[in-house]
Chains A and B, each alone.
Chain A
Amino acid sequence: MSQVEVRNVTKRFGRTVALDDVSIAFEDGGFFALLGPSGSGKTTLLRTIAGFHFPDSGSIRIGERNVEKVPVEKRDIGMMFQNYALFPNMSVAENVGFGLRVRKVGSAEETRRAREALELVQLGHLGDRRPSQLSGGQRQRVALARAIVTNPKVLLLDEPLSALDKTLRVDMQIELKRIQREVGITTIFVTHDQEEALTLSDRIGILRDGRIVQAGPPREVYNRPVDAFAAGFLGEANWLSEGALAGLTLPADPSGRRFATRPEALAISAAAPAPGMNAVRGQLVQRVFAGAMATCLVEVDGQPWKLIARDRDIPELPGDGAVWLAWAPQDTLVVPA
């Protein structure tokens, strides 16, 4: 268990710059999500920390050790792959014991620790099976057990849950979080699923074009995005056009800034809202009922806006679709233009 520190790392593949002067620290025992669109460099960053790539410049520390020139075999990491990458020619127990056997811990200890790891992921009874005889969720757990059995300094997860269907994914998220807490291992995981990032991690890093756009606790990144990309990528943002700013209480000088709201911060009504609230007029395009929650798509000054609220909190709306959208002034997002 160690702190991981990436300092000024640049990595090029041919002419493309995959990582552009990236500096980021991963706290000891923390659960860190790297989030970004495809091609943002998040996987490259993970694989560079793992040791599959060596940075062109910059340094990487795992614990007390500078590892930027150490190959992956010697970095003492645990990694979980998108497609699990279980060895099909070995049993589940052999898969989990592989890293221990490589470290020559002795067969008795290998068996004991492999069983412990399998019990941790609640698969103690399946050690003799082949990976091909397991379900997707079980394979996932085996891959996790295999990644942590050697007590690595850091656990790296490359889109670990993206191959699972939605219900199973939520179960695995909870399970992953439980095991991570139990083991206390520094965990870095890559995902393009923002909900997953918010659910699991205690810190988030948003990447774009090989740079870290913003890093911090999920709530902070969500509520105070540093730029329009971060605001739009983590959660959804309703942008206020310049013409709509008049009469609103804004937290900052509008010159050189853009303002937005989150869909869940809005209230919709047919009548003008109480004074003290920010409000804009809009035209209701669609109201989508989804059980407990409902989504309203509203056109505001030519911009598409979205509102998410409990369905019961949305009042009867007029037939002509002319509505007010209101939010508390402190819920306004501010980013540089």
Chain B
Amino acid sequence: MAEVIHAQDRRRLLTLLGPAYLWLTLAVFLPLSAMLFFSFLSDMPGDAPDWGVTLGNYTQFLENPTYATLLWKSLKLGVTVTLFCIVIGYPCALVLAKSIKGRAREALFLMVILPFWSNSLVRIFSWAIVLRGNGVLERTLNWILPFDIRLNLMFTTEAVVIGLVHSYLPYVILTSYLALQAIDDDLIDAARSMGASKLTILNRLLLPLSLPGLLAGAVLVFVPVVGSFMEPRILGGRMGTYYGTVIEDQFVAVYNWPLGAALSFILLAVVLVILGAASPVLRRART
């Protein structure tokens, strides 16, 4: 590819890549541009006759500390959920990739992917049934445990975290699994023949070699969780006010699209800055 691309090749390249770029333009670039445009308006054209261009939506974020507080809360939620996904997902991927073979692996894999195939609303309301007072979880625990226990997790931060971890766990498992599976079993055998314990093998071989996959999974979880609104709203109730739910409110309840758009772009910028700051670490992991 480094050589000179001939005219004919360029034409072929264009034909092949054209549809993809067209689609990206239509589905991503245009809506995003429209949103960016909206974020600088004082009112939506058509709603108010005297709409104009303003920076007011962005200054609102600075003037009202609630937004920053909520953004910080959402970022913390993102970190928490990502950590839980890693702590639960990586060992799962490790067992799946290195310990289980054949049919059992396929069956387990299916169970990992299953959350992807169910409607997210159904999934979240199912958690509501499990987590609420006198719900499935409380009843089961009372049935097993000899003493009485009151457990109402509904409308707590824990419920939000549980719902989000369940939704996004497959990303970490899948990316880590792919990275782990690519590691030749002979490497592990070689390390063992040199006297390495399982922990040494994990720390010095498996983790470093699968880090790119693990980090890719972490990014895939972190970014959408910071902007999530459905799980916080349904499982969090009063506790579930996050940056994402505020944005959603601007679009569907308050109908202040310009402010919602501005808040969205601030979120996008913050996430990009975080990923940019982390990129040296990400790049080092790749080599």
Contact = CB atoms under 8 A, between A and B. Distances in A.
Interface bracket on B? 10 to 19
Given A85-B184, A89-B208, A74 B189 contact: no
A73 B209 contact: no
Given A88-B209, A89-B208, A81 B190 contact: yes
A85 B190 contact: yes
A102 B191 CA distance: 9
Interface in B198-244: 200, 204-205, 208-209
Nearest to B185: A85
B47 interface: no
Contacts of B189: 52, 72, 79, 81, 85
B186 A73 contact: no
B193 interface: yes
A102 B195 contact: yes
Nearest to B197: A73
Contacts of B192: 52, 71-73
A278 interface: no
24 contacts: A71-B192, A72-B193, A73-B196, A76-B195, A78-B193, A78-B194, A81-B186, A81-B189, A85-B187, A85-B190, A87-B191, A88-B209, A90-B204, A98-B194, A98-B196, A98-B204, A99-B194, A99-B195, A99-B196, A102-B195, A146-B190, A146-B194, A150-B194, A156-B193
A73 B200 CA distance: 11
Interface of B: 184, 186-187, 189-197, 200, 204-205, 208-209
Interface in A62-106: 71-74, 76-79, 81-83, 85, 87-90, 98-99, 102-103
A139 to B, nearest CB: 12
Given A99-B194, A150-B195, 16 more contacts: A52-B192, A72-B193, A73-B195, A74-B195, A82-B186, A83-B184, A85-B186, A85-B189, A87-B190, A87-B205, A98-B196, A99-B195, A102-B196, A146-B194, A147-B193, A156-B193
A162 to B, nearest CB: 14
The 6 A-B residue pairs whose C-beta atoms are closest, nearest first, are: A99-B194, A85-B186, A79-B193, A85-B190, A89-B208, A81-B186
Q: Mostly helix, strand, loop or mixed at chain B's interface?
A: helix
Interface centre among B184, B186, B197, B205 (most CB of A within 10 A): B186
A298 to B, nearest CB: 45
Contacts of B191: 87, 98
A167 to B, nearest CB: 25
Contacts of A206: none
Contacts of B184: 83, 85
B200 A102 contact: yes
A50 interface: yes
A307 B227 CA distance: 79
Interface string A150-188: 100000100000000000000000000000000000000
Contacts of B195: 73-74, 76, 99, 102-103, 150
Contacts of B204: 87, 90, 98
B183 to A, nearest CB: 9
A89 B190 CA distance: 14
Q: Which of B189, B194, B204, B208 has the most CB of A within 10 A?
A: B194
A82 B189 CA distance: 12
A74 B197 CA distance: 9
A71 B190 CA distance: 13
Contacts of A102: 194-197, 200
Nearest to B208: A89
Contacts of A146: 190, 194
Nearest to A100: B194
Contacts of A81: 186, 189-190
Contacts of B190: 79, 81, 85, 87, 146
A92 to B, nearest CB: 14
A103 B196 CA distance: 8
Nearest to B186: A85
Interface string A234-265: 00000000000000000000000000000000
Contacts of B200: 102
B140 to A, nearest CB: 39
A149 B276 CA distance: 42
A83 to B, nearest CB: 6
Nearest to B188: A85
Nearest to B191: A98
A77 B205 contact: no
Q: Give the one of B187, B190, B205, B208 with max A CB within 10 A.
A: B190
B196 A89 contact: no
A83 B196 contact: no
Interface string A188-203: 0000000000000000
A71 B198 CA distance: 12
A270 to B, nearest CB: 55
A100 to B, nearest CB: 9
A150 B196 CA distance: 12
